[in-house]
Amino acid sequence: MKRNQNVNASVAAPNAYTTNAYAASDRTAAHALIPGGRPVITATNLIMDYAARRKTANRVGTTPMSALANTAPALNNVSFRLNVGETVAIMGPSGSGKSTLLHILAGIDLPTSGQVTYHVRNNCACELTGISDQDRTMLRRNAFGFVFQSGQLLPELPAVENIALPLMLGGTDYSQATDTAMLWMERLGLKHLASHRPGEMSGGQMQRVAIARALATNPSVVFADEPTGALDQATGREVMGILMDAAQANGSAVVVVTHDPNVAAFCSRTVTMRDGRLLGGEQ
Ligand SMILES: Nc1ncnc2c1ncn2[C@@H]1O[C@H](COP(=O)(O)OP(=O)(O)OP(=O)(O)O)[C@@H](O)[C@H]1O
Ligand SMILES: [Mg+2]
């Protein structure tokens, strides 16, 4: 897939966290250097203890402390590095902490302790675990894309507006945002679905729209949590192919949580979680 300059040029750079802080050529060049490449996200010594958080939250609440039995932390000293343009699958049994790790790497949730750093470019980094909720929201909007298992599209909006929405939230006007969305629909073979609402599309088509939406902001990293979990095998393979091709053409790194080794096979690296730890230590 060829890089479409129109698509990338049309995304404004609203703040220092924007993905355009990475020059496109910079990202492509870095991609060629993997695995020795430059990091885009580093996480060190992550602990996520939901029970401790609930205990804190309930200090002035009504939940009896006896109901909050001591449980193992969902993440137990996890360190992780993602390079620019790299594609990584996170596998492991149910409950092993995959989604928790993804949410913390993406700044959706904060760990109990530990650091997550987003490396905007050389010598410019931002600690996700040290900024305000508002800044983290801005960063997520501008630098990251998300694809979840299902239910992520707004049912009342046609596909083109679903894709345009994150651009508009980032400050792009309606006409430019929908033009960019249409370019992405063309790229992913979805043009004929532009006016369809999610209820009028198949599961595979909705995931392709979700991929277009995730990539339309030209993100540095796409986070995907079981993106093919609700699809049959053939459709899942097709959707993964589209996601990986589009991300690679864009120079975006990808982190995919999956139970499916066929999905993991699309990535350049697989890490495995067990009981809140990454097997093999720092990855
Ligand atoms: N919001 C939450 N509050 C309390 N505990 C949680 C929360 N989210 C996850 N957990 C717990 O943390 C652990 C890890 O959950 P997580 O969702 O990260 O697992 P997972 O590997 O993604 O599992 P699956 O493959 O089933 O999606 C589990 O024990 C889970 O019950
Ligand atoms: Mg999960």
Q: Which ligand is nearest to the CA of 93?
A: 1
Q: Span 251-275, mean pLDDT?
A: 95
How many angstroms separate the alpha carbon of residue 100 from the centre of ligand 1?
A: 6
Q: Which ligand is nearest to the CA of 277?
A: 1
The verdict on residue 57 lying in a domain is yes
Element (H, E) at 222: strand 221-225
The verdict on residue 10 lying in a domain is no
Q: Span 234-249, mean pLDDT?
A: 90
- Of 71, 96, 150, 278, best ligand 1 pocket probe by most atoms within 8 Å of the beta carbon: 96
Is the beta carbon of 74 within 6 A of some atom in ligand 1?
yes
Structure token pair of residue 180: 């960019």
Structure token pair of residue 210: 């979700």
**Contacts of residue 4, Cβ cutoff 8 Å, sequence gap at least 6:** 183, 187
pLDDT of residue 12: 28
pLDDT of residue 281: 62
Higher confidence at residue 176 or residue 17? 176
**Which residue carries 């894309």 as its tokens?**
145
The verdict on residue 4 lying in a domain is no
7 band by pLDDT with thresholds 50, 70 and 90? very low
0.75 exceeded by pTM: yes
- What does the mean pLDDT of the chain come to? 84
- Of 48, 49, 50, best ligand 1 pocket probe by most atoms within 8 Å of the beta carbon: 50
Overall number of domains in the chain: 1
Atom of ligand 1 nearest to the CA of 72: 29
Higher confidence at residue 255 or residue 32? 255
Q: Span 10-29, mean pLDDT?
A: 37
The parent domain of residue 214 ranges over 17-278
How many angstroms separate the alpha carbon of residue 136 from the centre of ligand 2?
A: 22
Nearest protein CA to atom 5 of ligand 1, as residue: 50
Distance of CA 167 to the CA centre of its chain: 16
The verdict on residue 218 lying in a domain is yes
Is the beta carbon of 99 within 6 A of some atom in ligand 1?
yes
pLDDT of residue 125: 86
Instruction: Quote the CA–CA distance of 272 and 279 in Å, as a whole number.
Output: 6
Task: Give pLDDT tens digits for 22-73.
Answer: 334 444 443 343 445 899 999 999 999 998 877 766 655 555 544 455 678 9
CATH number, domain with residue 112: 3.40.50.300
Q: Span 156-165, mean pLDDT?
A: 97
**Selection from 276, 264, 216, 271 nearest residue 45 by Cα:** 276
Is the beta carbon of 104 within 6 A of some atom in ligand 1?
no
The verdict on residue 158 lying in a domain is yes
47: β partners? 76, 113
Burial class from Cβ neighbours inside 10 Å (0-12, 13-18, 19+) for residue 91 reads buried
Q: What is the DSSP letter of 220?
A: S
The verdict on residue 193 lying in a domain is yes
Is the beta carbon of 41 within 6 A of some atom in ligand 1?
no
Is the beta carbon of 94 within 6 A of some atom in ligand 1?
yes
- Percentage with pLDDT > 90 across the chain: 65
Atom of ligand 1 nearest to the CA of 101: 18
The verdict on residue 76 lying in a domain is yes
Q: Does position 196 have pLDDT exceeding 60, yes or no? A: yes
Nearest protein CA to atom 24 of ligand 1, as residue: 94
Q: Span 204-228, mean pLDDT?
A: 94
- Percentage with pLDDT > 70 across the chain: 80
The verdict on residue 38 lying in a domain is yes
Is the beta carbon of 252 within 6 A of some atom in ligand 1?
no
How many angstroms separate the alpha carbon of residue 91 from the centre of ligand 2?
A: 10
